[in-house]
Amino acid sequence: MASISPFSLPGRFWRGNLHTHSNLSDGALPPDDVVNRYKAVGYDFVMMSEHFTHHFNYPIANTLHHRGNNFTTIIGAELHAPVTSAGEWWHIVAAGLPLDFAPVKKGETGPEIAHRAKEAGAFIGIAHPSWSQLTIEDGRALDFAHAVEIYNHGCAIECDRGEGFYLLDQMLNEGHRHLTAFATDDAHFKVPDHFGGWVNVKAESLYPDVLLQALKDGHYYASQGPQFQDIRIEGHEVIVTCSPVDTIAILCGISRTAQVVGRAITSATLSLKKLEDGWMMEKISPWFRVVLIDHAGKRAWSNPIWLDGK
């Protein structure tokens, strides 16, 4: 029986949010107030992701003074440039930017500024694809990104366009196997859009560079509340242990699923064979992911797991 990454790795899980705004761009509160609110409710790290546009004079929030032994910050921004398939500006989360990252250059596209940010050392996330109405062509244009934002709490609260699995799953089916799935708030503190989605990052320390590398390596899971304790694969079975939930399910690149449903379940053994039995067709997905749903309807999501172990 073998645990899979990140559960098999040394260290502990650190809770953090990678997408939130202050009055440096279009948020309601000063940056220090935002950071202190996350710290007060038990987060281990946060990143201010101000809108990096000329409208706000290309802000990157300097939160270095909040770093300490028990709480830290990552420097980053939400990058924008023309244009998506819908004719709108790109929204791209870039975690781990230098404070002197250069403004958007004349004629620079969204994929180009995202690539420049990645070259500067950033973790690149495709933000709120449903809210932005991103297409698979848009996803392909950012095929070098590290992750897709699969839950955005602000978009979910304000207009019910918070989920991004449709884009992640399509890209996984096309073989973009490096992609992972992160959840965020995208909080502006004008409505109850905060503390609703986050990442739990497995790392041996709270140093920002260590957290950033763990994010790039996919050593995390996303959550609204439920907690994974372990995911193991033994032969054709997936063994999941977690905090009490009402559903533990595995799903993949086709319609096949396997699940256990009840009340306050803390473990389940699920057969991968159920993912192989197509209806009116024979197809096997090379990947699957695990979902937890608790009694309040809050969810947690594993990153994609590839059956060949690579």
Q: Where are the domains of the chain?
A: 8-223, 228-306
Per mean pLDDT, which range of 7-16, 62-71, 196-205, 276-285 is the poorest? Answer: 276-285
Residue 210: C-alpha distances to residues 62, 75, 96, 190 (Å): 19, 13, 11, 32
Question: Residue 40 pLDDT more than 90?
Answer: yes
- For residue 304, give the DSSP letter: P
Question: H-type helices in the chain, by residue range?
Answer: 31-40, 110-119, 129-132, 136-141, 153-159, 165-173, 208-216
Asked if 129 and 139 touch (Cβ cutoff 8 Å), the reply is: yes
Q: Which residue has the tokens 């918070």?
A: 162
CATH fold of 8-223 reads: TIM Barrel (3.20.20)
Mean pLDDT, rounded, for 208-213 = 98
Q: Is the pLDDT of residue 2 over 90?
A: no
Residue 279 has pLDDT above 80, yes or no: no
Q: What is the mean pLDDT of residues 114-142?
A: 98
CA-closest candidate to residue 21, choices 182, 186, 153: 186
Architecture per CATH, 228-306: Sandwich (2.60)
Beta bridge partners of 79: 52, 92
Q: Token match 């107030």: residue?
A: 33
Lookup result for tokens 């998506």: 84
pTM for the whole structure = 0.96
Q: Is the peptide bond before 103 cis (omega within 30 degrees of 0)?
A: no
pLDDT at 264: 98
pLDDT band at 309 (very low <50, low <70, confident <90, very high): confident
The residue with tokens 């791209």 is 92
Can you read off the two tokens belonging to residue 197?
């989605």
Q: Round the average pLDDT of the chain to a whole number and report it.
A: 96
Overall average pLDDT of the 208-229 stretch:
98
